Amino acid sequence: MRFSIKMRASARGSSLPSTSDGASSDHAESRDRADRHISGAERIVSASDIMRTVAELEHRAWTHSNGRPDDVVVSVHRVDEDEITHIPALTRETRHTQTVDDAHRAITEILGDEGIPTAEHALDALTRIRGMRGAMLLDADTGERRDTKDIRGVRVTALDNDMPTGADGAEEMSSSAAAKPYYCEALTLASKVQYHPAVCAELCISDDPEYTTGYVSTPGSYVRIENIKPAGSPQGGRVFLVRGTDNEIADCIDYLENTPVIVHGIPWPPQDNHTPNPGASDATAPDLPTDLTTFAEQSLAEWENKGLRRYPLEFSSAPTPHTTVSKSDTVLFSSSNYLGLSEHPDVIAAATGALKHYGAGTGGSRLTTGNFTIHTSTERTLAEFTGYDNAVLFGTGYQANGAILATLATDIPEAPSTAPANTPGMTIFSDELNHASLIDGIRMATRGNAEVHIYPHKKMEHLENALAQCSSPRKLIVSDGVFSMNGDIAPLPSIMRLARAHGSWVLIDDAHGTGTLGRTGRGIVEYWNDARRQDAGVNSSPGAGLPDDSDLRPDLLVITASKALGSEGAAVCCSTPVAEFLRNRARGYVFSTSSAPASVAATQAAVRTILREPERVHRLQENSLYLRNQLREHGIPLVDGTSDSTPIIPIFIGDEADAVRISQGLSDRGFHVPGIRYPTVARGRAILRVTTMATHTRDDLDRLVDALRDLMPHAT
Ligand code: WAQ
Ligand code: MG
């Protein structure tokens, strides 16, 4: 069973189209003409792709370059598989005609070769008509109008092509990912039109003023014609040149409007046979290098074709549990604003105060004229919070990781002569599930005499062997603190023990642990120290101090201000000499304008709020544990190895299509929970990634569980 989905977007009551063919006074017609057509598209898809496709077409309608519509109509029609006609794509080539005259000459010639004498008449009709939604049918021999629909024309519908819609690849499907490249739509339409025996040829000019390439199709071939109209002209339309009795033409119109067709073999990537312009002038256009815009279009189309193109949702209020996403009320289960600090009045007041005092921007890098009191005092606050001597602010976590890793690969020593040949001066040991910012930082670091060794996720025996066998004089272990897809925690005590035994430095990116882990939200070090305290049974004695945590401290602890702290930016916490080394050498620090005072002040206020209101951290941890327990209780499986202590709760789904369906079902019920699938996670291991916030109520959590029980067949 398939479904034909049609979208039409229009703006109300603007520009009346003009036509030399006269206008009907029929009410429907005049209402239709008063509406300005913005865009239309359609697909034929299987049941599991309906919601995704509807979302994609909606997105396209609301963001079309023709303008903002007032009305978007999307309709879904059931189609029996055996009603569908499968037809091959026309072959495609391009004529590089230089002028409108050349283009018209080329068209006249192509149609002449087919024995069609009415090219000029057809071109003339195309030049005069404007604002048609469909095509005019003209008699190929006499030029007379053969359809009766006047200004509407005949609209070709019920068609699609067999290019993949991305079932195999989208990263995240809650936002629509099923887009097909626009490029193939014209070829798909032309292939359908040409397939009917009454159609001899088609002429098409886009109504996009900037798109001056049109086409002429004849049986088996689709020839793109450049400069078919002057740039800037809104004139566009389609003419189908037909031959046949009135009955044959009626059958043709019925086929064009109603027969579902899937076109196979649309050429991909979008290349075609370049043929010389046979018209007035010279030879083949030279093979110029692709200009950037064309390159970007092709690349985007390819991305779209693989199902990887993403269209961001639009949030029109703060990332609080109850918010507005793409205009609908939504309960948010996907934000990293874990503690609700982005909207905390003290945080907002601090940001506003700094904005008023220092202004919007700093006007320089930290080393020149952009080092304000708010920067240095916030660095002190962050260092105290995490228990380090010093902290260095960066613009973002991505920037921090790149800058730090590249700088640690500075002045790499030579491997000793006793080491095996080709031993790199530095080896970086990296968990296979590390965040992209660490991976990219390692790429910068390994441009010189450093190599990377990727170890299986959290496999300490593997890491131990690799360290033991490594004779590089400089070693560095790099790991996420909390892994962003699995919601599990790096085995810090083992990592630190191995690092000491093998003389390695350690960098931990605690982006998701800052503010969420540990009894006061200080992150991964506190989390493991708490665990040690519990193991030792110190828990029971009130006021008992924490055991010394110095053996748990990585050399570099990267924290972020953009998640639990509700602001933006990042910092690395480390010893003062390491901080000074980075301040002097890290290019991402030296050559960046310092962060805006308002953001930095918000970060500082957020840390103070956590210290003053530790119950926020506890509420987050309680919410996370409660939701996990409720899910388990109702037979909703979590990903193996996920920790009970993190706010990232990965629900195991497995099948990609199921993940799409459930994520969409949740969205229909007013919850935002993204589905994550290959390539972000392994094939067949799709998940729903839920995140909790301290500000979720029990009711929010219970309602999510109820919705999931509704949508998951095995839930109880
Ligand atoms: N059925 C019949 N006619 C249509 C349809 C349809 N489904 N959609 C559009 N038209 C008519 C209508 O009069 C428009 O004004 C006119 O065609 C042009 O439509 O390979 O973008 O959507 O690079 O602007 C040519 C691509 C692009 C050449 C054509 O047409 C290439 C294009 P547009
Ligand atoms: Mg158009």
- pLDDT tens per residue across span 237-283: 999 999 999 999 999 999 999 999 998 888 765 555 444 444 444 44
List the beta bridge partners of residue 323: 330
User: By the 8 A CB rule, do 457 and 682 touch?
Assistant: no
Q: Using the mean position of ligand 1's atoms as its centre, give its distance from the Cα of residue 205 in Å.
A: 7
> 459 — phi, psi (to 5°)?
-80, 95
Q: In the structure, what pLDDT confidence band is assigned to residue 346 with cuts at 50, 70 and 90?
A: very high
| Ligand (nearest to CA of 64) | 2
- Ligand 1 site residues (CB inside 6 A) read 132-135, 155-156, 186, 189, 204, 206-208, 213-215, 224, 236-238
- The model's pLDDT over 507-546, given as tens digits with 9 standing for 90+, comes to 999 999 999 999 999 999 999 999 998 887 765 555 556 7
- Chain centroid, CA 391 distance in Å: 32
Q: Would you say the C-alpha torsion 314, 317, 322, 328 has a positive or negative sign? A: negative
User: By the 8 A CB rule, do 426 and 614 touch?
Assistant: no
Whole-angstrom distance, CA of residue 437 vs CA of residue 400: 9
313: left (phi over 0), alpha (psi -120 to 50) or beta: beta
528: left (phi over 0), alpha (psi -120 to 50) or beta: alpha
Q: In what order do the strands lie in the sheet with 686-691?
A: 648-654, 686-691, 675-676
- The model's pLDDT over 278-317, given as tens digits with 9 standing for 90+, comes to 444 444 455 667 788 888 888 888 877 777 777 888 898 9
List the beta bridge partners of residue 8: 40, 73
| pLDDT value of position 133 | 83
Q: Using the mean position of ligand 2's atoms as its centre, give its distance from the Cα of residue 22 in Å.
A: 23
Instruction: Report the residue among 38, 92, 196, 204 best suited for mutation to probe ligand 1: largest number of ligand atoms under 8 A from its CB.
Output: 204
Instruction: Report the residue among 60, 133, 235, 259 best suited for mutation to probe ligand 1: largest number of ligand atoms under 8 A from its CB.
Output: 133
Nearest to 430 by CA among 400, 376, 466: 466
Whole-angstrom distance, CA of residue 715 vs CA of residue 655: 16
| pLDDT value of position 615 | 97
User: By the 8 A CB rule, do 343 and 320 touch?
Assistant: yes
Token reading at 315 = 């949030």
The three-state DSSP-derived secondary structure of 381-396 is HHHHHHCCCEEEEECC
To which residue do tokens 């009320």 refer?
329
Which atom of ligand 1 is the closest one to the Cα of 215? 28
**How is the chain split among helix, strand and coil, in percent rounded to 5?**
35, 20, 45
Q: Determine the average pLDDT of the residues in 356-381.
A: 97
Instruction: Report the residue among 15, 238, 272 best suited for mutation to probe ligand 1: largest number of ligand atoms under 8 A from its CB.
Output: 238
